[in-house]
Structures are given as C-alpha cells and as structure tokens.
A and B are shown apart, each in its own frame.
Chain A
Amino acid sequence: MHVIVCVKQVPSVEKVRVDPETGRIAREEAPTMINPEDRNALEEALRVKEKLGWKVTALSMGPPQAEEALREALAMGADHAVLVSDPALAGSDAFVTSRVLAEAARRLQPFKLILCGSRSVDGETGMVGIQLAEELGLPQVTWAVNLTVEGDTVTAGRWVDGWYEVVEARLPAVVTVVGEINKPRYPTMRGIMEACRRKTVEVVTLKDLGIPPSSVGLNGSLTVVERVFQPERRRGGIVLRGSVDELARKVAEVIVRELARG
C-alpha cells in the first residue's frame, strides 16, 4: 500500500522578484522551497503512514535542482522519491504537467491515494491535482481541510462558499489539500542525515515514461502565459484637513475632479 504525494519546488515567496525587463520570475536568485500546500499534503501522507503503515512516495516534475525539494520530502519521512526531469519539459503548463505526473503515477501502481497541495504559490493555477485525477480516471476531493482513510474509502471535509461538506470517495483517489489541514512537521536532523546519506531520489526521463518530447513543453501546452508583470502600485490616499465645512467643500471638489477625469 502506498500514498503518492505530488511535490513542487517553488521560489521562496517572500524573496521572489519579477525581472522588470523580461517580466519573468527571477528564479536563479530566489532560494527555493517545497510549495507550502504540498508540505501539508506530505504531512497528511506521513500521518496515514503512521496510522496504517503505508509507504509514502514523493513525486515531482521539474529541473534537476528539484531534487533538493524531494530530498527534503525524504527528510520529513517519505520513503521514496521520484523526479521526472527532462529538458523537453521546460515551459509545460498545468495540462502537460498533470499528464506527465499521471504517467509517472501509473508506473508507481498499485497506489491507494494521491495527495496534492491544492495550488502552488508560483503558478497559482490550482489545476494540476484536478487534472491528474481526470487523467487517471480517479475520484477526487478538492480543498480538503481534513481527511481520514478507512478501509477502501477516504473521507474528507471541505469548505465551499461558507458550507462545510463531507465527501467520501472510493480508493484509489486523488485529494487536494489546503493549508488549514495541518501544521507540517520540520524534518528532524536525523531525518536529514538519513535522506542525504541513505535514501535516493530516482530520476526518470520522458523516455523512461514513454512520452514523446513533442507532446510536452510549450509544444504540448494548451495555455500560454503571455505576460507576467508587477501590478502598478496604487496611489496613496489623499489626506484632507480642515473644519467640517472646509472638509465638505474639499471632498466635493475631489469628487467633481475625479468624475471629470472619468
């Protein structure tokens, strides 16, 4: 029995900068981390492991550096780690990513559960987990704030428009989780040492997965990011001072002026 957790390496949010010339995220300079909600997903998988004795496999698609994120997943307690890495994958959108991850997951069968963060802090599409379930033809529960695995079902709670919903799905299933679900553990020092000294990150290529390079990357993607930009800063407010009468007059002036501007 095992749980697959999809893990994405993302730039550290607070340190990230968009290059004003190219409009691209300056990834080279930003330190990286495991996408926060993926860490929640991993924590949830580790709890399943502790309760039911299932194995945990961390799965990622990304450049060779993403191995570091998987190493961290191993340090937290994942048993295995698989990185799908191939130069042809550069520029892949959520659609392609989920197809590749689905193919990698198929090769990891039999699994009982796939856990994903509901969205990544860099791309923010929130699509990969959902499309992954579709690709695999599995039931899915999204935005879980709690989950329980019992027998052949997973039961998860989720908030939708102020309503709390409890959804049951037959395993194997895909569940995407949100940050509230748990507080992820920190890797222990011993966990780090073991992850680096004794565990390995298995790297697989498109060829290993039998995926033609022409069907991935920018070529295979259905969506294109046209432009990334930092929104213009909003102007600061205007402070008006004076007596009540003066203020009333000034406010009226501002309104008239702004209206005139359109």
Chain B
Amino acid sequence: MDFELAEEQKIVRRTVREFAEREIAPKAKEYDEREEFPWEIVEKLFEQGIMGALIPPEYGGSGMDSVSQTIAIEEVARACAGTAMTLAIHSSLCTYAILKYGSDEQKEKFLPKLAKDTVGAFSLTEPEAGSDPSGMRTTATLDGDEYVLNGTKIFVTNGGVAGLVIVFARTPAEEAKRSITAFLVEKGTPGLKVGKKESKLGIRSSNTTELILEDCRVPKENVLGGVGEGYRIALASLDSGRVGIAAQSLGIAQAALDASIRYSKERVQFGSPIARFQAIQWMIADMATEIEAARLLTYKAAYLRGKGERFTKEAAMAKLYASEVAMRAARNAVQIHGGYGFTREYEVERLFRDAKGTEIYEGTSEIQRMVIAGQLLR
C-alpha cells in the first residue's frame, strides 16, 4: 500500500496546474459567457501532449499512465470544467475505446491524429435511448463494402468540433445485446451532419450537439471491435469515461474549496475574517474531507483501469461520489461568498452551474447507484 504519487505523477500535477492557471483559468469566464469552444486552449492541450495522454509514444502520444492522465483532467477542470469536458471525452472515452478495441490498422490510422490535432467524440445517446440503449433507433445496414448509417444522436459532447466520432448503431441480430455495433466515423463523411447545438446551464465552453446520420456510408473496416460488440464496448468505455468525469468533478470541487479558503480569509465581518467563524470553518473542513475521499476513490478507479483490471464498480462509485461532492462544494462555496457568490463576477457562480452537470452526464447519480448495486447484488 502506497499513497504517495510517483515522481512523474507529481510533475504532471505541477506542470498541468501551472499551465492551467496561466493559460486556461484567465479565459474560462469569457468562454463560459460566450458559450464558445476554446479552440485556442485545446490546440495548446494537443501541443503539451495532454490530449494524447493515454496514447503510446509509437502513435505520437504521451504514453502517460492512467493515474497521471486522471490528474491532468483534474487540473484542467480546476481552471475550466468545460475545457476538461472536451479533454475527458476525447481521452477517457474516445481514445480509450480505440486503444482497447481498435485493430492495429485502426490504431495506426486514428491514434496519431487523436494525439496531434483531431478531437474525438463518442455518440451513444438518442432521444429514446440514453443509459438504456435498448431503445436505440440508429441503424447500420451493410451495402457492399460499406455500412449505411441512419438516425439521430443527441447530447454529443464535442459533436460539432470532432474529427472522429464513435457512433453506435443497430445491426440486426437475434440476441438483443449483440445487436449494436460501434463505428469510427470521420468528419467529412458524406451524410454526417452536425445538428442543433445545445445551450446549457453549465460546462458551456464544451460543445454539445446533435449528430444527424443520413445515408452516411462508413467503410466496413471502420467497425470498432467487431459487429455486434457495440453494447459491450459502450459499457466498458463508459467505465473509463466515468473516471474522467470523476476527475473533472474533483477539479471543480477543488476550485470551489480554493476559492472559499481565499475569500473567507479576506472577507471581514463583525471585525474579523469570516474564516474565524465556526460556521464557515465547518463548511471548509467538510469540503476538504469529502474532496480527499473523492480523490482517493477516483485515483483508485484510475489505478485499476491502468492495471487492466475490472473497475466498473469503482468507476461508478468514483463518479457518483466525486460529482456529488463537487455539487456540495460548489453550493457551499457560493454560500460562503454570500451575495458576491451569486454574481457573475465571482468564479464560484460558474462552478455551481458546472458542478450540476457532473451529476447528470456519463450516467446520472441514479444510474451510478444502479450500476454499483448491480455489481454488488449479482
């Protein structure tokens, strides 16, 4: 048992923190207000090798370990949760799925792009199918050497900015669980259209859109992990995605705590800084304790993922707990800031809106509890 981070993990934390504080944090407010995708920042994340965190060096990536990648997402989220969303989906979901299920040819073709300049997306949700994919309507029909995809996907993170999307579609099979297939669909494929862009409460700098597939022809060799494997791939990738969202939640929670400590030491009422009041101290003590617990859960899930062990339950626990901690921490941070916390002037207002999202996407808290219970009561 060793709770000490490895040297590389410590340097990753310090480097990404400094990078995020200088290059991301000063712009987070503006991107949030304008609901604009932070291309300039994402390009720098590519340059620094943060987008290519999990990709091995032979494909042009950074070859980081699973925990280091998680720390990087956490530190980016501490500065801007929207940017961290882009990163988490690109890395923990899209890249992870290709690393785990891609053929050698697919890895050679797509991983160097995902490491260099191509944003990845993961497109499962539909109007009738969310955490329950049985209602999925998008179909894929084999025609010669190509599959023809038809349907509409919604809430696709990075939908409008991605160069590569993993699209899940129905391929008829007798067994229900074998009737979904994952496809690697490149931007510019005829028939792939970006639909409505969502206007959101939080995580506003991340790009969330509809994707419309109209006779979208995808070559057979772009099937990821085999025909009928989509359901399994979706579930396994979501485990990894949840570790990413747990890390994002941690970053939000930490930012809320940092802001609360700073403000409560400065803000004077009744002749002393409000940090002297027990009511504030207890909030800060609880926040810090919960964040530490969430961090341990998250790193453990990341560690198991890195070792290639099963981590479904741990990922769900980390995501559930960290997202709820983020919400509580952000709520108390607003409370500590009083009237100022309710204004757009202060960062905690954005953290409050951003935190809410983490309890919803990548499986709501309720779904996480179902997953955890399912693992325990098998």
| Residue ranges of A at the interface with B (Cβ–Cβ < 8 Å) | 31, 33, 68, 71-72, 75, 186-193, 195-197
Contacts and interface: CB of A to CB of B under 8 A. Distances in A.
B69 to A, nearest CB: 9
Contacts of B14: 31, 33, 72
A192 B63 contact: no
A189 B7 contact: no
A196 B12 CA distance: 11
Nearest to B47: A188
A188 B53 CA distance: 10
A196 B64 CA distance: 11
Contacts, number: 57
24 contacts: A31-B14, A68-B11, A71-B7, A71-B11, A72-B15, A186-B15, A186-B18, A186-B19, A187-B11, A187-B15, A188-B49, A189-B48, A189-B52, A189-B53, A189-B72, A190-B49, A190-B61, A190-B63, A192-B15, A192-B62, A193-B63, A193-B64, A195-B8, A196-B11
A196 B68 CA distance: 12
A192 B62 CA distance: 9
B10 interface: yes
Nearest to A191: B49
Give the most central of A187, A192, A197: most B CB within 10 Å. A192
Contacts of B47: 188
A144 B306 CA distance: 46
Contact of B11 (A31, A190, A192): A192
B234 to A, nearest CB: 28
Given A68-B11, A71-B7, A189-B15, 17 more contacts: A31-B14, A33-B14, A68-B7, A72-B15, A75-B15, A186-B15, A187-B15, A188-B62, A189-B49, A189-B50, A189-B62, A190-B49, A192-B8, A193-B8, A193-B62, A193-B63, A196-B8
A68 B6 CA distance: 11
Interface of B: 6-8, 10-12, 14-15, 18-19, 47-50, 52-53, 57, 61-64, 68, 72
Contacts of A187: 11, 15
Contacts of B49: 188-191
Contacts of A68: 7, 10-11
Contacts of A195: 8, 11
Contacts of B63: 190, 193
A80 B260 CA distance: 42
B18 A192 contact: no
B19 A196 contact: no
Nearest to B64: A189
User: When A and B form their complex, which 10 residue pairs have the shortest distance between CB atoms, in order from nearest?
Assistant: A189-B49, A189-B62, A196-B8, A190-B62, A188-B49, A190-B49, A186-B19, A192-B11, A187-B15, A196-B7
